[in-house]
Amino acid sequence: MATAGVEGLYERTAYTIDSSRIAGLQLTKDHYDFVGAVATLSAQALSYPALAISPENGVAAAIRYQHDWETTGPAPGQTPGRGWWNEWRGAASAYLALPLPGFAHWVLAARVAAGIRGGPLADPYDVGGASGDPYEIVPGYVIGPG
């Protein structure tokens, strides 16, 4: 099975300052508006038997391209024409059923994903989530932002 899609998008990010906590602070730009286009393509060849809890044999792959343009214009003191970014993302998965005993079939699964962003307004990728608490493995070495 294969699918393809094309979408349009509108995104608005607004920033505010709680003036009851910080007096006299002003933003140079309080919002960003983007319009963009997204193209996706995916294909899969999977075995999904009746009562299965996951795919069992096969592969799946997907690729996505997104291009956004900033429509709010430059902040005061900045030159116009710098507001765009684009992104490529791809992922591939493979599944292999193993003949081991149990209620459900055992499945060995692997997944690989990658992405790249470019352009003057491209943000870096964030990996993972935020840890609840920092954890010190050895003195001086802490994992998690807290």
66-110 confidence digits (pLDDT tens): 999 888 766 666 666 568 889 999 999 999 999 888 888 889 999
What pLDDT score was predicted for residue 118?
Answer: 93
Residues 102-132 have pLDDT tens digits of 888 889 999 999 999 999 888 887 776 665 6
Please choose, from the candidates 86, 84, 88, 85, the residue with its C-alpha nearest in 3D space to the C-alpha of residue 116: 88
pLDDT of 6 higher than 80: yes
- Nearest CA among 94, 89, 24 for reference residue 59: 94
Q: Which residue has the higher pLDDT, 26 or 15?
A: 15
pLDDT tens figures, 51-62: 788 899 999 999
Q: Tell me the average pLDDT of the chain.
A: 84
